[in-house]
Amino acid sequence: MLGRGPSGTPGDHNRCFALRSLPCCCLPRPALAAGVEVHEAYAISAMPGARSGAAFMIIHNHGGPDDRLLAARSPAAERVEIHTHVMEDGIARMTRVEEPLPLPADGEIVMERGGLHVMFLGLTESWEDGDIVPLTLVFEKAGEITIDVPVDLDRLDGEAPGGASGMDHGAGHGMDHGMGQGG
């Protein structure tokens, strides 16, 4: 279930808010568990009614033991997968990451446009700017970390986490993922 801010039509939820109307001190804070911190998270979908979306973030291991990201899940989609882009014959193709992602002590996983990202397939509701998408990341040692990821459609063609620019990627990237507009 997605949360919407005060002007959202599918019902307001107590834990949800309109991001632009809050001072910086009230914005979502980085999630931290067992030394693993998630920050700069945001989600996008290409257009209203899109059946897929993506989330980007930086996951940092602040001196905990070496760890691995095993999975991601969310009630906001029928399936949630970790994806990346690989070059095949000079063409960037998106593919599911089958193996756990290593997160070394004092290291990080950067999920950015054109690289690693969380892919939401079969969205349960259309995403609108300012919505909050619940996401649980499952780690081998740190366990589960649940975060609220803001939908920021202004970043469709903007910057990736950490200020780096990336390849435009979202639900409208030309790949169907088996979840076409009609369902």
pLDDT in tens, 72-101: 999 999 999 999 998 889 998 999 999 999
Domains and CATH numbers, the chain: 33-157 (2.60.40.1890)
Residue 54: name the closest of 143, 164, 138, 161 by CA: 161
Please tell me the pTM assigned to this model: 0.72
- What number is the average pLDDT over the span 55-60? 97
**Which one, of 114, 113, 117, lies nearest residue 97 by Cα?**
117
Going by the DSSP 8-state scheme, the letter that residue 122 receives in this structure is: E
